[in-house]
Amino acid sequence: MKKQYLLFIVAAGLLTFFSACKNESGYKTLIITGQNNHNWKASSPVLKQILDETGLFSTEITITPDKGGDMKTFDPDFSKYKLVVIDYNGDSWSEKTNKAFVEYVRNGGGVVLYHAADNSFPSWKEYNEMSGLGGWGDRNQKDGPYVYYKNNQLVTDTSAGNGGSHGKRREFLVRTRITDHPITRGLPVAWLHGTDELYSQLRGPAKNMQIIATAFADSAAGGGTMRDEPILMTIGFGKGRIFHTTMGHADEGGGPSMHCAGFITTLQRGAEWAVTGEVTQKVPWDFPSAAGVVFRPDFKEMTLDEAFDNIGNYEIAKSTKYLSCIQSHIRTLAGDEAGMLKIEKMMVKVLKSTQTTVEAKKLLLRELSRIGSDYSVPAIKNLESNAELKDEAEFALSRLSTK
Amino acid sequence: MANKSSRRDFVKRSATLIAGTFILPEIIPSSAFGIGRGTAPSDRIVIGSIGVGSQGMSNMSDFLKLKDTVQFVAACDVDKIHLAKAKATVDLANKNTDCRTYDDYREFLEKEKLDAVSIALPDHWHGIIYSSAANKKINVYGEKPICRTIKDGQSIVNSVKMNNIIWQTGSWQRSLANFHRGAELAINGRAGKIKYIEVGLPDGNKGIGTPPVIPVPAELNWEMWLGPALKVPYRGVSHWDWRWILDYSGGQLTDWAGHHIDIANWGAGLEHTGPVEISGAGVYPVEGIFNVPVEYDFLCKYANGIEMRVANASRLPLGMGTTWHGDLGWVHVDRGDIISASDPKILNEVIGENEIHLYKSENHWQNFVDCVHTGKPAIAPVEVAYRAISVALLGEIAMTTGQTIKWDPDKEEIIGNPVASRLLSRPYRQPWTLPTV
């Protein structure tokens, strides 16, 4: 008894130790929020969850005084952090805090500017250099050019006019403009983003700025500029790196823009890049494409085990994401025999289950025809006499016997 | 459907002759043999269509323009609305009501005594119906891509060769001046020795989600539409949109391989061979009934050192079309009469008398009809079409398996990978089988 108890204590201690390690080893990150024309109470915890999900960051949220409050009391010690995420659009910070922040970035601190953060601080010169482009707040030609793509050409447009607009919220197609940037490497060149504001007509100093992704603001949705507007940007400021995403307009709980796997992934990758200049995260299997928006209900990437837990319930007209997850996993195995056999065994297990739907079995038989081995054959043969599955079973057996 | 056409009698007699049970008629209607042996050019070839959806009707309209050389007599489709439109179109052109209609290609091929057939079907049907038409010794104008699998392609090529028929692939870009000119500049070394080729094909589109099962429209024979493909319930996707479902097509990649990859091969002298190594990746939809890759990017290496990258247009600097890169520069061609080069002077180059002059055609459909008369090979012969789509099908296998595929272009086999080799063919649902010659 005593021995077991002791083991328990040791195990619990180790767990605490490891989870502490994870936090300790994560890049210390500060999300600044508290004032915004947007729902910061909804967005900031989602941003924290998205970043912490990677295991790379340990994130705190700091909340500024309310609008009109005493901003002198907002005095974070930036030097403690590797990354500062700005989810803030409100009163000016104190002179001291501004200075400390500029110092932090100059010395190599990472920054993520999120959505309406590029509306903030229209008269703070250094902040506008960090954001590259901004909107609203009486921004106009005095603040710098409009920058966008037109007919696949980068345009710097100094014409007079207000900065910042967006049409009606809608899904839009994000187009990667720099495919070999660490943030975008391996991502599709085009992907559909969940319903969001498509920030347009941003203008600013645009110094040391790269536009890595744009979205076409068509006029069909109302208020479109008919330009490919910058959506993801990187900016260099001193030794610091800034990742600027205009996406992510928050509803309660995050809403479609923040649940979009494309928003989540680019934020995670952009944040890592802002800290290190590199991205070590793998492209998730569920990154969206031009085929359609992909939402993550819990902001997490589905695992292979979860896919196998759910595939057996498949019915026509239901989600195909569990199958897609399995297929994607097979592609990444690149023919690795041990890995393929493991997947094959998982498939056969679901195939044999009496709980598995006929439609799910049909899907699995098709997959087994591609990756199966002798291991699958008895289970498939069993289904040959099943009127509903005969065709698929014959299909699989025929292919498995192809020499 | 009284038959008053003397032309038809004439063809009928010749068909009987082929069967070897009849005495010589006065005239040998040579075109009915497949290869012309002296048919008077004034003789119109008798043609019908299998598959009269959008592309089938487009081809029909191109053939109907050749009134003096073509007589359209019959159409076949599994959709009654398609069939009615086809008949109305043919009858209007012929100023009669004689166009015969069929809902089963077997009956069509059996009853109609044709010189030629224009076929435009979903890809999963190509193997069976192209081979069947060839085995009936009917000359074929067949839509690209000519096959859904390598094995289907091999069967088609074999049937066409063994039956000695004229084959024209619907790779009509070959009959346009800019593509011809670009390929001729490339193959004659005007960009230097060709080292690398880029082929840009269309990006994929937004899906339609996961539609429910709905009743099959009364006009559609769904069972026959599916044919050799696995039986699935009708969910509102058949005509046109079949190309976004892997059972029937490989998406934009395979849909367009017969155009820009075909042109790439033409200008690089790769028409009768294939790559030796293929690797790359695709982007597949997460959700939905449409499951073809919406992005694709793969590299093919050839035995002679040439490399060909095939990708959706947004991934490539010059976007859509074919670009041959030589050691001196590049030449690019695309639709819309586009031809450009690293140095504009290249475009003014004259091809000398003793250099390579590529086959010239100014009208793809006329070229087919002419060749049916003369017995000369058409500008887009079957093996060439098979080699063009093979590139895309091997790319598809590389992307699906996540592996580098080694290919023997002479034996037409994947080397050392039995699991990937399974994807070279696709079992047919009973009772369908590939016809033997």
Burial A178-210 (b: 16+ CB within 10 A, else e): ebebbbbeebbbbbbbbbbbbbbbbbbbbeebb
The last residue of a domain, from among A276, A292, A321? A276
CB B86 within 8 A of CB B60: yes
Eight-class DSSP state of B379: S
Residue A382 inside a domain? The answer is yes
The answer to the question of residue A295 being in a domain is: no
Q: How high is the pLDDT of residue B18?
A: 40
A394 neighbourhood in chain B, CB within 8 Å = 427, 430
Q: Which two tokens stand for residue B291?
A: 């499951």
What average pLDDT does this structure show over A208-225? 91
Task: Please list the helix, strand and coil fractions of chain A in percent, rounded to the nearest 5, in that order.
Answer: 40, 20, 40
Total domains present in chain A: 2
Task: Give the closest-approach CA distance of A176 to chain B in angstroms.
Answer: 9
B286/A192 Cβ within 8 A: no
Task: Provide the token pair at A286.
Answer: 């569920």
Please check whether residue A284 lies inside any domain of the structure. no
A-contacting residues of B 215-234, CB under 8 Å?
230-231, 233
Between chains, do B402 and A330 touch, taking CB under 8 Å as contact? yes
CB contact under 8 A, A402 and B421: yes
Q: Which portions of chain B are predicted below pLDDT 70?
A: 1-42
Per DSSP bridges, beta strands A209-216 and A170-176 are antiparallel
Instruction: Using an 8 Å CB-CB cutoff, list chain B residues near A398.
Output: 427
Q: Tell me how close the Cα of A228 comes to any Cα of chain B, in angstroms.
A: 14
Tokens 């929020």, located at residue: A33
B416 at A interface, C-beta within 8 A: no
pLDDT in tens, A171-186: 999 999 999 999 999 9
Q: Do A335 and B403 touch (CB under 8 A)?
A: yes
- A267 with A315, same domain: the answer is no
pLDDT of residue A16: 44
Instruction: Give yes or no for residue A254 having a pLDDT over 60.
Output: yes
**Within a domain: residue A96?**
yes
A89 and A183 part of one domain: yes
Domain residues for A380?
304-400
Do A103 and A156 sit in the same domain of this protein? Answer: yes
Residue A44 lies in a domain: yes
Specify the DSSP class assigned to residue B236.
Answer: S
Q: Do B401 and A331 touch (CB under 8 A)?
A: yes
Q: Which residue of B has its CA nearest to A323?
A: B286
How would residue A271 be classed by pLDDT, with cut points 50, 70 and 90?
very high
Query: Are A83 and A159 members of one domain?
Result: yes
Higher pLDDT pick, B38 / A311? A311
3-state secondary structure of B311: strand
| Domain assignment present for A249 | yes
From the list B210, B418, B429, the residue facing A319 with the nearest CB is B210
Give the pLDDT of residue B43: 80
Instruction: List, for residues A346-377, the tens digit of each pLDDT value.
Output: 999 999 999 999 999 999 999 999 999 999 99
| A69: CATH | 3.40.50.880
Both A319 and A254 in a single domain? no
Please tell me whether residues A233 and A316 are part of one structural domain.
Answer: no
CB A71 within 8 A of CB A125: no
> Pseudo-torsion of CA A369, A373, A378, A381, nearest 10°?
20
CA distance A286 to chain B (A): 6
Tell me the nearest-neighbour CA distance from B51 into chain A, angstroms: 26
A290, A308 in Cβ contact below 8 A? no
CB-side neighbour CA atoms (13 Å) of A395: 24
Per-residue pLDDT of A273-294, as tens digits, reads 999 999 999 999 999 999 999 9
Residue A403, pLDDT score: 63
Q: Are residues A271 and A329 in the same domain?
A: no
Domains of chain B (ranges, CATH numbers): 7-173 (3.40.50.720), 174-351+382-424 (3.30.360.10)
* Rounded Cα gap, residues B105 and B96, in angstroms: 23
Pairing assessment for the beta strands A190-196 and B405-408 based on DSSP bridges: unpaired
Contact list in A for residue B213 (CB cut-off 8 A) is 316-317
- pLDDT of residue A151 exceeding 50, the answer is yes
In a domain, A287, yes or no: no
A13-35 confidence digits (pLDDT tens): 444 444 444 445 799 999 999 99
CB B203 to CB A290 under 8 A? yes
Q: Which of A276, A293, A315 is the last residue before a domain boundary?
A: A276
**What distance in Å separates the CA atoms of residue A180 and residue A360, rounded to the nearest whole number?**
39
Using alpha carbons only, what angle is made at residue B171 by residues B168 and B175, rounded to the nearest 5 degrees? 90
Q: Which residues pair with A230 in a beta bridge?
A: A214
| Same domain assignment for residues A266 and A314 | no
Q: Cα–Cα distance between B114 and B14 in angstroms, integer?
A: 10
The token duo for A327 is 């297929």
Binary contact (A394, B427; C-beta < 8 A): yes
Is the pLDDT at A5 greater than 80? The verdict is: no
Q: Flag whether pLDDT at A239 surpasses 90.
A: yes
Angle between the B126-135 and B150-163 helix axes, to the nearest 10 degrees? 10
Interface A:B, Cβ pairs < 8 A: 125
B287/A contact by beta carbon, under 8 A: yes
Instruction: Examine the domain organization and report whether A229 and A331 are in the same domain.
Output: no
Burial class (CB in 10 A: 0-12, 13-18, 19+), A11: exposed
Co-location of A204 and A315 in the same domain = no
Q: Which residue from A265, A368, A245 is spatially nearest to A51, judged by alpha carbons?
A: A265
* Interchain contact A386–B (C-beta under 8 A): no
Last residue of a domain, one of A276, A292, A320: A276
A242 domain residue, yes or no:
yes
A333 and A219 within one domain: no
Residues B93 and A77: their CA atoms lie apart, in Å, by: 84
What Å distances lie between residue A323 and A103, A319, A363, B56, B211, CA to CA?
49, 9, 8, 35, 16
User: In the sheet that B295-301 helps form, which strands lie side by side, from edge to edge?
Assistant: B338-341, B330-334, B321-326, B194-201, B307-312, B295-301, B277-283, B405-408, B413-414
Residue A317 and residue B210: Cβ atoms within 8 Å?
yes
Considering the domain architecture, whether residues A362 and A215 belong to the same structural domain is answered as no
Q: Could you tell me which residues come within 8 angstroms of residue B430 by beta carbon, excluding any fewer than 6 positions away?
A: A391, A394
Question: What single-letter DSSP state applies at residue A72?
Answer: G
Residues whose CB is less than 8 angstroms from the CB of residue B66 and which lie 6 or more positions away in sequence, other chains included = B365, B366, B369
A245-to-A85, A126, A229 alpha-carbon distances in Å: 11, 18, 12
How many percent of chain A have pLDDT more than 90?
A: 92
Chain B partners of A174 at a C-beta cutoff of 8 Å?
A: none
- Cα A79 to Cα A23, A392, B171: the distances in Å are 17, 62, 64
- Check if A124 contacts B (Cβ < 8 Å): no
> CB distance from B54 to chain A under 8 Å?
no
Interface predicted TM-score (ipTM):
0.91
A222 pLDDT tier (thresholds 50, 70, 90):
confident
pLDDT at B19: 39
